[in-house]
A and B are shown apart, each in its own frame.
Chain A
Amino acid sequence: MAVRPVRRIYVLDSSPLIDLSLGMSRLFPIAGVWERLAEMVKAGQIKMPQEALNEIRDEDLTAWVKRQAGMVVPTADVIASAMEVVRETGLCDREKTQTDADPFVVALADVLRETAEAPLLEDIDVVVVTQELPKPSKLNIPSVCEARGLPVVTLSGFFELEGITAALSSIP
């Protein structure tokens, strides 16, 4: 039996974009990565919740994200799912005095997994991208994703999955 191709949709936390915008000095130096990301946004393969955009305070990066039509998903579209995530898992930095996008990232992945329509003869795989790392007994995006059966990768894992072998260029 033939294996059906998988179409991946990535849900981005703010941290991978911030690391990428800082030059990823420790990883993957190549040009063209922003153009490649823009193409993937156009193809509906990269999404980010509004709350994650709110965590990005760098003007250039915020402007780049806002230029990518369809990338940012409004809070209204995920708030019901975010409430489930918060109540089921407790994933919420309640004492923080600023925005906390973590539950919205997981919520958007949940929503997309339920609603994204796959092209004919393809499977959909929703993957969360965050620079947070799984740590034993720590409640964070990777641990909650793991418990919900959502694949989670770091930026380097994302590059690997997409066959991007290098990536350093300034935000266009």
Chain B
Amino acid sequence: MDLAAAEKGLGSNPGTIMSWESGKADPTLAGLQKLSSLYRRPLAALLLGAPPADPLRPPDYRTFDGAQQTLSRDSLVAVRRAQWIVEKYKDLELPIRADPSVALESAGAADEKMETVAEALRQRLRVSLSDQQAWADPYEALRVWRERVESIGIIVLQLPMPLAEIRGFSLASSLPRLICLNRSDAIRARSFTLFHEVGHVLIGSGGLCLPFDSIARSGAAAEERQCNDLAGAVLVPENQLRALVAGRELDANIEDASLESLAGRFQVSKEVLWYRLRRLDLISEQTFSEKWPTWRKRWGHTPTSGGAAETAVQRTIRQLGRGLVQPVLQAEQVGAVPAQQAAELLGIRAKDLAALRVFAEL
């Protein structure tokens, strides 16, 4: 937020904040409290001798050259909250599982081609194709995929952010690793973003991403392409896709409904299926390019799902996931973490911890 926007939010005259910062005038307590609310920082942080340095953001893969772009206030707050959760998790000495990339390497996937890595990851996540085909809908798919990713020690959040700006991000510079999906995104797109970010975690860099948007973008970073390939290969295994489309004529005239029917077998979107067909050379670049832009226009308008009549406890589980909620509750239950700190980390009232424990199946 720039000074002009802050002064507007504060309802003060131009130059007011500058005069506080330069020491020409003393801020009022009411002014500081408003600033604290505007910046989503504690009042105490405004008492420091110098502004707190922003923590290092993960690489920004939304640009061609990896340069950091400006983030809106909502996205910045989501990134800061995720970074704070990781720091607090370590600070409270909550249990940290093995590094997920080590777990995958032990499955023999290091330095193998993407399909092999994806298969090793699916085995590690204990998801068979028959499991995947038995899921009732994409909501169940995302729920199970998320729980399995959490089971290998990755925290998976879902927070609201402007969709055109960011679809997901990951923090991988220290343990625990964390992935954040955009809660405003379409449900199938979130599953794709989940495994795209798992790719970043396994590579070890983390990132701020617009995975779908990078698919057809010339000049997208190599790491983005790798992560998209991993996401596609995990969600739509090669052998099964080849078997499914064997003998079919696949061209740009194929009806969306037919593609959706095929995609439904894997609980993915038609866009992911189309992308996989191209990556496996089952359609030509020209065929891919004829259809892709017609869908591209609609991505910014995907409806937001859910949210009606949701309790605070349900919202906490959905936003923070069992991978975070369970260890916090377990530590609180044995007295290793005060209830106030547990509630604060989970963003709920302390008296809701008991209900959350029931929901989190503890």
Report which A residues bind B (CB closer than 8 A). 13-15, 18-19, 21-22, 26, 51, 55-58, 60, 75-76, 79, 82-83, 86-87, 91-100, 102-104, 131-132, 138
- Say yes or no: B350 contacts A57, CB within 8 Å: yes
- Say yes or no: B42 contacts A94, CB within 8 Å: yes
Select one of B47, B48, B80, B343 contacting A18, CB under 8 A. Answer: B343
Determine whether B23 belongs to the interface, using a CB cutoff of 8 Å to chain A. Answer: no
Report the Cα distance A87→B84, complex, angstroms: 21
Q: Enumerate chain A residues within 8 angstroms of B33, measured Cβ to Cβ.
A: 75
Q: Mark B64-91, 1 if CB is under 8 A from A, else 0.
A: 0000000000000100110110010001
Instruction: Please tell me which stretch of B118-126, B143-151, B253-261, B333-341 contacts chain A, meaning at least 4 of its Cβ atoms lie within 8 angstroms of it.
Output: B333-341
Determine whether B303 belongs to the interface, using a CB cutoff of 8 Å to chain A. Answer: no
Report which B residues bind A (CB closer than 8 A). 29, 33, 36, 40-45, 47-49, 52, 55, 77, 80-81, 83-84, 87, 91, 335, 338-341, 343-344, 348-351, 353-354
Q: Enumerate chain B residues within 8 angstroms of A104, measured Cβ to Cβ.
A: 44
- Say yes or no: A75 contacts B47, CB within 8 Å: no
- Say yes or no: A15 contacts B47, CB within 8 Å: no
Kindly name the residue among A15, A76, A95 whose own CB sees the greatest number of chain B CB atoms within 10 A: A95
- Say yes or no: B29 contacts A92, CB within 8 Å: no
- Say yes or no: A100 contacts B340, CB within 8 Å: no
Q: Enumerate chain B residues within 8 angstroms of A94, measured Cβ to Cβ.
A: 41-42, 44-45, 48, 52
Given A15-B339, A19-B339, A97-B81, check contact A92 B44 (CB 8 Å).
Answer: yes
Q: Enumerate chain B residues within 8 angstroms of A99, measured Cβ to Cβ.
A: 36, 42-43
- Say yes or no: B338 contacts A96, CB within 8 Å: no
Q: Is the contact region of chain B dominated by helix, strand, or loop, or is it mixed? A: helix
Report the Cα distance A51→B344, complex, angstroms: 14
Q: Enumerate chain A residues within 8 angstroms of B44, measured Cβ to Cβ.
A: 51, 82, 86, 91-94, 100, 102-104
Given pairs A87-B48, A94-B48, A95-B87, 13 additional interface contacts (CB within 8 A): A13-B340, A18-B340, A18-B350, A19-B338, A86-B47, A86-B48, A92-B45, A92-B48, A95-B80, A97-B41, A100-B43, A103-B47, A131-B341
Q: What is the distance, in angstroms, from B347's C-beta to the closest C-beta of chain A?
A: 8
Q: Enumerate chain A residues within 8 angstroms of B52, measured Cβ to Cβ.
A: 94-95
- Say yes or no: A51 contacts B43, CB within 8 Å: yes
Q: What is the distance, in angstroms, from B357's C-beta to the closest C-beta of chain A?
A: 12
Please give me the 7 A-B residue pairs with the lowest Cβ-Cβ distance, nearest first: A100-B42, A131-B338, A15-B340, A94-B52, A83-B47, A92-B44, A57-B349
- Say yes or no: A92 contacts B47, CB within 8 Å: yes
Q: What is the distance, in angstroms, from A43's C-beta to the closest C-beta of chain B?
A: 25
Residue on A nearest B83 in the bound complex, by CB? A95
22 A-B contacts, Cβ less than 8 Å apart? A15-B339, A18-B338, A18-B343, A21-B351, A51-B44, A57-B343, A57-B349, A58-B351, A83-B47, A87-B49, A92-B45, A94-B44, A95-B80, A96-B42, A96-B45, A97-B41, A98-B42, A99-B36, A99-B42, A100-B42, A131-B340, A132-B341
Q: Enumerate chain B residues within 8 angstroms of A91, measured Cβ to Cβ.
A: 44
Kindly name the residue among B29, B33, B344 whose own CB sees the greatest number of chain A CB atoms within 10 A: B344
Given A18-B343, A99-B42, check contact A58 B84 (CB 8 Å).
Answer: no
Report the Cα distance A104→B128, complex, angstroms: 54
Q: What is the distance, in angstroms, from B342's C-beta to the closest C-beta of chain A?
A: 10
Q: Enumerate chain A residues within 8 angstroms of B49, measured Cβ to Cβ.
A: 87
- Say yes or no: A15 contacts B29, CB within 8 Å: no
- Say yes or no: B338 contacts A138, CB within 8 Å: no
- Say yes or no: B350 contacts A21, CB within 8 Å: yes
- Say yes or no: A79 contacts B47, CB within 8 Å: yes
Given A22-B350, A58-B351, A87-B49, check contact A97 B344 (CB 8 Å).
Answer: no
Q: What is the distance, in angstroms, from B178's C-beta to the closest C-beta of chain A?
A: 14
Q: Enumerate chain A residues within 8 angstroms of B340, measured Cβ to Cβ.
A: 13-15, 18-19, 55, 131
